[in-house]
């Protein structure tokens, strides 16, 4: 690739970035503001960092756990490869020395960016001073980010054995990071050396998969920069999965009495990640508000009674949203039966069969809430009972389509709110 081609690609990226910012600057400002406030509260209220003093072991653990979560999403849960090139460069320069040069340059650039990010995190951990703690943590986190980047690259391209190797390596790196010792630095350096050696010498790239995904990313970036909603909707429809992987109804040995229950389990497993993630985020956000002074910078919100109410509101909002999704699954089956599909079950049987899955889900949610709030008492039985009432109220409201159903939902949510407050806040 010539110097002129590189300059053209750089100008094209800058043009796309400029278009994206022009059309989304309001949202970006809001996201930056919220992230800044949460970061400030996390560092000074939860991790309790003090200027001139290194973070406490507990504060260091909190920050490193946040680093692990961020790195896990960046390296393994993100839909895009951790190292990206231009699709044209990948297609025309593959099997040439130029391709290897560009790829290694991208990898080295990723490590350099990891160094800069690690220095910022280490600056927080050292108490905003440059000392041996700063040097140690910068080295440790940089090695962790760099090694995880190469393991993510291996996981993306390798077969089953290589993927298992990458996951095990990421787990070892995470343990070494949380240990924060000199041995951790040595171990991460060794892992980085072998991951680089394997990547550059032995790893065979999955070029068709990589090139196809790079093309989709570039097309999506162009659509976003041009604020082309029609194109974005078209891309979403084209990339919607058409083949269901994992468990299927044929995998179960079911009878007439268990077929609906198995179907409800499959629908729960296949549920989109977005709503489930939102439910988890709301519950965890409520827990953070209750356990920290995250909202202390706002007037009146430093009162424990008010923060307790906000905590419960976040929790029941998450639960109500989940129950609405589960109830819509029941409504979908009942509507199909009413439209003429031969389903040998009444509405009551459908609700009760799907209710078994709701009982299991509510039991898991109740146990999870009790664990994060460290509450273990008979009050949790009341919470589980209120959750079931809220779920069946949603089902009744959707199936009956009467105005009284909305009243049942209001009463059930009030009961759920009171029971949640009584179970996890007032104790």
Average pLDDT rounded to a whole number, residues 186-198: 91
- What residues contact 380, with CB distance under 8 A and at least 6 apart? 366, 367, 370, 423
Residue 23 pLDDT: 65
Give pLDDT, residue 81. Answer: 85
Q: DSSP secondary-structure letter at 204?
A: P
**How confident is the model over 271-316, as pLDDT tens digits?**
777 778 788 888 888 887 777 766 665 656 667 777 888 888 888 8
At which residue do the structure tokens 């040097």 appear? 135
Work out the average pLDDT over 19-41: 69
What is the pLDDT at residue 298? 61
pLDDT at 26 over 80: no
Question: Could you state, in order of their start, the residue ranges of all structural domains in the chain?
Answer: 47-205, 256-425
Give 52 or 200, the one with higher predicted confidence. 200
Contact (CB, 8 A) for 148 and 75: yes
Question: With the C-alpha atoms ordered 146, 151, 152, 158, is the resulting torsion angle positive or negative?
Answer: positive
Q: Is pLDDT of 194 > 50?
A: yes
Selected residue with higher pLDDT from 171 and 276? 171
Please give the Cα distance from 210 to 85 (Å, whole number).
9
Q: What is the pLDDT of residues 384-393, one digit of tens each?
A: 999 999 988 8
User: Which range is most confident: 63-67, 145-149, 281-285, 340-344?
Assistant: 145-149
Query: For the residues 189-202, what does the mean pLDDT come to?
Result: 90
pLDDT of residue 166: 87
Weakest mean pLDDT among 76-90, 134-148, 155-169, 363-377: 76-90
- pLDDT score of 109: 86
Kindly tell me if the per-residue pLDDT of 25 is higher than 70. no
Residue 346: its pLDDT value, please? 77
Instruction: Write out pLDDT tens, residues 234-261.
Output: 666 666 555 445 545 555 555 566 777 7
- Give Cβ neighbours of residue 76 (< 8 Å, ≥ 6 apart): 152, 155, 167, 170
More reliable by pLDDT, 263 or 416: 416
Q: What is the pLDDT of residues 87-146, one digit of tens each?
A: 777 777 777 777 888 888 888 888 888 889 899 888 888 888 888 889 999 999 999 999
Q: What percent of the chain has pLDDT over 90?
A: 8
Confidence of residue 9 (pLDDT cuts 50, 70, 90): low
Q: Does the model's pTM come out above 0.75? A: no
Q: What pLDDT band is residue 13 in, cutting at 50, 70 and 90?
A: low
Q: Who wins on pLDDT, 402 or 211?
A: 211
Q: What is the pLDDT of residue 355?
A: 85
Rounded to whole angstroms, what are the CA distances from 279 to 39, 244, 270, 295, 371? Answer: 21, 24, 16, 20, 16
Q: Average pLDDT over the chain, rounded to whole?
A: 79
Q: Which residue, among 237, 245, 415, 264, has the nearest Cα to 328 in the 3D structure?
A: 264
**CA-CA distance, 247 to 227, in Å (whole number)?**
38
Taking each helix axis as running N to C, give the angle between helix 347-373 and helix 379-400, from 0 to 180 degrees, rounded to the nearest 10: 140
> Residue 190 — very low, low, confident or very high, per pLDDT cuts 50/70/90?
very high
Confidence grade of residue 188 (pLDDT, cut at 50, 70, 90): very high
């Amino acid at each position: 690739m010539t110097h002129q081609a590189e300059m053209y690609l750089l100008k094209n990226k800058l043009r796309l970035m400029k278009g994206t910012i022009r059309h989304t600057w309001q949202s970006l400002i809001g996201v930056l503001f919220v992230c800044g406030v949460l970061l400030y509260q996390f560092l000074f209220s939860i991790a309790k960092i003090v200027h001139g003093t290194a973070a406490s072991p507990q504060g260091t653990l909190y920050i490193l756990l946040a680093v692990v979560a961020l790195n896990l999403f960046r390296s393994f849960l993100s839909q895009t490869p951790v190292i990206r090139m231009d699709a044209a460069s990948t297609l025309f320069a593959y099997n040439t020395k130029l391709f290897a040069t560009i790829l290694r340059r991208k990898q080295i650039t990723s490590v350099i960016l990891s160094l800069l990010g690690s220095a910022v995190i280490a600056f927080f951990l050292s108490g905003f001073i440059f000392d041996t703690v700063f040097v140690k943590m910068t080295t440790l986190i940089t090695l962790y980010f760099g090694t995880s980047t190469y393991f993510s690259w291996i996981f993306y391209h390798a077969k089953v054995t290589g993927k298992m190797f990458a996951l095990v390596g990421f787990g070892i790196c995470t343990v070494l990071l949380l240990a924060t010792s000199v041995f951790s630095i040595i171990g991460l350096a060794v892992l980085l050396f072998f991951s680089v050696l394997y990547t550059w010498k032995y790893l065979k790239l999955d070029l068709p998969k990589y090139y196809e995904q790079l093309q989709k990313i570039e097309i999506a970036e162009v659509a976003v920069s041009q604020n082309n909603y029609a194109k974005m909707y078209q891309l979403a429809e084209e990339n919607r999965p058409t083949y269901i992987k994992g468990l299927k109804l044929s995998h179960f040995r079911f009878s007439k009495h268990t077929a609906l229950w198995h179907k409800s389990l499959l629908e729960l497993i296949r549920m989109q990640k977005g709503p489930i993630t939102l439910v988890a985020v709301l519950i965890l956000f409520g827990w953070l508000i209750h356990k920290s002074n995250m909202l202390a910078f706002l007037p009146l919100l430093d009162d424990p009674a008010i923060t307790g109410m906000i905590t419960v509101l976040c929790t029941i909002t998450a639960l109500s949203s989940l129950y609405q999704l589960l109830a819509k699954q029941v409504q979908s089956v009942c509507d199909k039966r009413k439209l003429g599909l031969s389903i040998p079950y009444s509405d009551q049987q459908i609700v009760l069969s799907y209710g078994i899955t709701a009982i299991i889900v509510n039991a898991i949610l109740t146990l999870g809430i009790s664990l994060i709030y460290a509450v273990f008492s008979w009050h949790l039985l009341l919470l589980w009972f209120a959750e079931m009432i809220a779920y069946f109220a949603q089902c009744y409201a959707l199936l009956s389509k009467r105005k009284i159903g909305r009243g049942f939902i209001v009463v059930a949510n009030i009961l759920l709110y009171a029971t949640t407050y009584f179970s996890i806040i007032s104790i």
